Structure 1
Amino acid sequence: MSGLSRSSHALVTGGGRGIGREIAAALSRAGTTVTVLGRNRAALDDVVAQGLAHAAVVADVADQASVNAAVAEAAARQPVDILVANAGAAESAPFARSDAALFRRMMDVNFFGVVHATQAVLPSMKARGHGRIVAVASTAGLRGYAYVSAYAAAKHAVVGLVRSLALELATTGVTVNAVCPGFTETDLLEGSIDTIKRKTGRSREQALAELAKHNPQGRLVTPAEVADTVLWLCGDGASAITGQAIAVAGGEI
């Protein structure tokens, strides 16, 4: 990674836990000022208290007015140069039992959460002629998985948005990319493990093996590996990289 400006201000949504927390920490270590955004004030305050970010703002990414207010609060301290749209949620169900409400929940958080955050930061980035937008999608945005049709549809939508917006912004100095992790060691994954255990009677070790087998390396991805990819995309050395959906998945894609 080269050329990450130490005067940059990064906003990380879903920054209170998991991959978002790790991304915030990596950006902070690189010298970037980091604001974390999320719904859980206590979790966000802990990230700041641990020195992994510099400030926190509270918002529900599915609520555009809430996001606009939080971004305005963050930008009042310093214009946002980097957006990492990481906030997400996952629910599993057979398609036949995936009602419209489930699809809306998955779209509201995973897709519209990216739309809302991007629309809030983009005018200022375009006006300054520089910006980095990185959406944390998923390998589910590049391929299908059984029993998560709503989640996969939302993540496919994120990848389509990234590819289209990158072309629209190609001459503005703002790059737009997606990072697509495979199954990653987070508390979100623990929910998937619990679901497998409950529905199949398998042990935790068997459930983990079931998820890890998707990765040709035979393991789970670590949050730090995802964060390193984001860090590279945020640097000046990646200024020619835009419209990409980069899989961090051990060769799965």
Structure 2
Amino acid sequence: MTPGPVALVSGAAGGMGGAIVAGLVEDGFHVVGVDACAPMPGAASRPGREQALRDLESRSPGRVDTAIIDVRHGAAVGRLIESIDSAHQRLDVVVAAAGAVAGGHAMWEAPEGELDVMLDVNLRGVWNLAAAAVPLMLRAEPPRSGRFIAIASAAGHRGLQQLTAYGASKHAVVGLVSGLAADLRGSGITATVVSPGSTRTEMLAATAALYGLDSVEPLAERHLVERVLEPDEIADAVRWLSSPRSGAVTGAVLHVDGGFTT
């Protein structure tokens, strides 16, 4: 049994997911980082790279395990949780950071299947992780202190032009986690959402391309901090929510959006 806390991070091959993995390692976690590392037809964002997963392991030998897992597939996620149980007999923190973006047109001009893709990646992936991981987290002896954290988006709270399907999927993530927190009442396990603003990642670059922009900088126009955010800033929020200091926070959204939704 792993002596220290164990965390699972999906979307670990992305810039934000990778920063979260690195931060949790600094905080003493053994981290399992997973990513599909494969193109998702209908999504504009690039897939994570297998090399990015390998780099996470090489930077933290013995502290990070990685696997190629598509969280859209419940059976694969179930096998992943079984492997974590077998190797570590515990799971303390789950961060659902896998996601994709699509859009660049008005809602009524969206191609067939765009909404399905967004819901499958951005919502079903979170659902599958929670459904498989929470029972393992509940096996911990009370008093428990497990954390389930989903990465949503400022688009989960504001309508964004030409990103309707993406925004709908992120609004749904907020609703899912709210319900999960209610189901976890009294268990000691919390469920929260981090909603980033425009953060310097490949997904943001894909979003800029959907708008026909040459750079990501204009996407920070609605930030009160007047700049694009960095992945480490989102990771810092996740690290706090993963800590014992956040025990009074559940069913809530932490807006790490530079003031976008103020």
TM value normalised by structure 1 = 0.91
- Which residue number corresponds to residue 78 of structure 2? 68
SS in 2 for 1:145: coil
Give me the identity figure in percent: 33
RMSD value over aligned CA atoms? 1.5
SS in 2 for 1:114: helix
Map 1:48-127; keep pairs closer than 5 Å.
48-51=57-60, 54-78=64-88, 79-92=90-103, 93-127=105-139
Judging by fraction of residues, say which structure has more helix.
1
Question: 1-side partners of 2:194 and 2:102: how far apart?
Answer: 20
- Given that 2:151 and 2:195 are in contact with CA atoms closer than 8 Å, whether structure 1 keeps it comes out as yes
What does the per-residue CA deviation read over 1:178-229, in whole Å, with 9 as the maximum and x for residues that have no partner?
00000000111111222333xxxx5x2xx43420102111111111110010
What does the per-residue CA deviation read over 1:70-102, in whole Å, with 9 as the maximum and x for residues that have no partner?
222223211211000000000113211224511
With 37-46 and 155-164 compared, the bigger mean Cα shift is at 37-46
- Which residue number corresponds to residue 152 of structure 1? 167
Tell me how far 1:43 sits from its aligned partner.
2.8
Question: 2-side partners of 1:122 and 1:50: how far apart?
Answer: 29
Tell me how far 1:38 sits from its aligned partner.
0.9
Tell me how far 1:50 sits from its aligned partner.
2.1
Q: Paired residues, what number? A: 241
- Which residue number corresponds to residue 45 of structure 1? 54
- Which residue number corresponds to residue 148 of structure 2? 133
Q: Residue type matched to 1:229 in 2?
A: A
Map 1:235-250; keep pairs closer than 5 Å.
235-250=243-258
What does the per-residue CA deviation read over 1:134-172, in whole Å, with 9 as the maximum and x for residues that have no partner?
001101111110111111000000001111111121200
Gap runs ≥5 in structure 1? 1-5
- Given that 2:5 and 2:91 are in contact with CA atoms closer than 8 Å, whether structure 1 keeps it comes out as yes
- Given that 2:152 and 2:194 are in contact with CA atoms closer than 8 Å, whether structure 1 keeps it comes out as yes
TM value normalised by structure 2 = 0.88
- Which residue number corresponds to residue 40 of structure 2? none
CA pair 143-77 structure 1, distance change in 2 beyond 3 A? same
SS in 2 for 1:35: strand
